[in-house]
Structure 1
Amino acid sequence: MTLADWTPLTFEPAPVLEGTATRLERLSGDHADALDAANRADDAMWAYLPYGPFADREAYRDWVAEAAASSDPIFYAIRGEDGWAGVASYLRVDRANGVIEIGHIAMSAALQRTRAATEAIHLMIAQAFAAGFRRVEWKCDAANGPSLAAARRYGFGYDGTFRQHMVVKGRNRDTAWFAILDGDWPRLCKVHRAWLDADNFDAAGRQARSLSVMVAEAAGATVA
């Protein structure tokens, strides 16, 4: 593949990403207390992250201040139905080659497995491709079953596993790599939007069809 016309990107993430079920804002100290309160429902959310759980609110405020000042990773706060309840970031932002990763995903128990959580990641993927990135990556501990499932649910393709890639919290981490390419995104974006559509949910917010099934069907896979 020749890329004679390729030029490095001048990407600066939007300060706000607005969806139907969620709103993302660039992380700031204003979000810290609400996020800390949401996070305290379940320490298990920190199991595969290199930091957390935090001893107290002041410790989390300190982490937010550091994260908000970072230029890479670039953090967003995520609002769910009950308020600010999670964060996610862009990292390893490679404007020269058009590659970007979504990671540092820390969603509280109240936000996990919700329409807002799915839409938040969708909005971040969509922003990256709209800015001209060629590849959006997702990496996780190969032992982190929920994150592996989430990557596949969004339509990220598996690229392989880097064995003995890191030492995290005193244990080995093999890192599974996934990616969506710009050529994949128009199809996946259409599927994501169909899943997010209000017609896919009943009055209690239950989905009619799962995103995993819809992504698999769009790829031509046979779903039992």
Structure 2
Amino acid sequence: MSQPTNLYGQPLGAALPDWQPRPQPQAVVLSGQYCRLEPLDAARHGRELFAAYASAPDDRDWTWLPVTRFCHEADYLAFARDCQHNPAYLHFAVIDLQTGRAVGTLALMRIEPQHGVMEVGFVIFSPQLKQTRMATEAHYLLMRYAFDTLGYRRYEWKCDSCNQPSRQAALRLGFQYEGTFRQALVYKGRSRDTCWYAVIDSEWPQLKQGFERWLATDNFSPDGTQRSRLQALREA
């Protein structure tokens, strides 16, 4: 397909004559098979989250976050209240449907309705959530909300270039690597190169089908072991 041009013969991007800004994400509840996302409420979720994070044997999950793990419940509750009321972020608590307890958080951020772009970030998963079906489903629920409900065009993931677990998670979830912004930030007294990843709306139907196949109960043995990998089901 030839690229559109203007009267000067200069190349242009694809025309969007009917484009309208997308709705602003709202503090909604998103329910799945294994977990539920609820708008973060420090009074309701804070103590459970502090206890879940405190169950980790060390602080390695906080190395590439802009904050360190909280030693005192009161400090974490104050942080959770700040997250809850920060208008630049929409934080969600991940609720384990088996226990009814909050076991982690993630957020929508850098939300630009006029362009149909948003980012998922501030992902803080406790040991009870990491590498579980709930963890994958939490990301699926937010992506489905962004693309199917709100009609966004682009969904981003950014991380410290040193954060190999985050980079691997982005690729596993179907994000495409787009490049590295060198010396993008200074935090915790060090320089950060930031890796950019994204999913766009034309890619979402195939990713959605892969997620739903992976999350199906028949994809897991009685002991909870996956039968097929997410990437394999996405590419099938």
Q: TM-score, normalised by structure 1?
A: 0.94
2:229 aligns with one of 199, 202, 210: 210
| 1:49 aligned to which of 51, 65, 83 | 65
Length, aligned pairs only: 217
- State the 1:14 CA deviation: 4.5
Tell me if structure 1 keeps the 8 A contact 2:30–2:38: yes
- Say which is worse superposed, 19-28 or 78-87, in terms of deviation: 78-87
SS in structure 1 of the partner of residue 20 of structure 2? coil
Find the partner of 1:61 among 73, 77, 82: 77
Report the AA paired with residue 120 of structure 2. Answer: I
**For the Cα contact (< 8 Å) 2:210–2:231, is it kept in 1?**
no
| Residue 185 (structure 2) aligned to one of 166, 179, 184 | 166
Return closer, same or farther for 1:61/1:164 CA change in 2, 3 Å cut-off: same
Q: Give the distance between the partners of 1:204 and 1:10, measured in 2 at CA.
A: 41
**How far off its partner does 1:117 sit?**
0.6
Instruction: Report the equivalent of 1:37.
Output: 51
**Distance in 2 between the 1:108 and 1:170 partners?**
25
For residue 87 of structure 1, give the secondary structure of its aligned residue in structure 2.
strand
Structure 2, unmatched stretches of 5+, are 1-13
Q: Which amino acid aligns with 1:50?
A: P
Bigger radius of gyration among the two:
2
5+ residue gaps, structure 1 = 219-224
* 1:1-224 alignment runs, 5 A limit: 1-29=14-42, 30-42=44-56, 43-80=59-96, 81-82=98-99, 83-130=101-148, 131-215=150-234, 217-218=235-236
CA distance in 2, matches of 1:200, 1:14: 31
Moved more, 27-36 or 163-172: 163-172
Q: Is the 8 A contact 2:37 2:95 kept in 1?
A: yes
Deviations 1:104-123 (A, max 9, x none): 00001111000001000000
Deviates more, 1:77-86 or 1:146-155: 77-86
Q: Distance in 2 between matches of 1:137 and 1:161?
A: 13
Q: Is the 8 A contact 1:98 1:133 kept in 2?
A: yes
The answer (yes or no) to whether the contact 1:45–1:109 under 8 Å persists in 2 is: no
Structural RMSD (CA): 1.1
Say if 1:88 and 1:105, in contact at 8 Å, map to a contact too: yes
Post-superposition Cα deviations, 1:71-103, rounded to whole Å, max 9, x if no partner, equal: 221100002344211000000000000000000
How many Å separate the matches in 1 of 2:188 and 2:124?
Answer: 16
| Structure 1 residue 139 displacement after superposition | 0.5
CA distance in 1, matches of 2:87, 2:224: 36
SS at match of 2:34: coil
| Mapped contact 2:27–2:90 kept (Cα < 8 A) | no
Alpha-carbon distance between aligned partners in 2 of 1:214 and 1:13, rounded to the nearest angstrom: 31
Output the amino acid matched with 1:31: H
How far 1:55 moved relative to its partner?
2.6
User: Could you tell me whether the CA contact under 8 Å between 2:93 and 2:105 is conserved in 1?
Assistant: yes
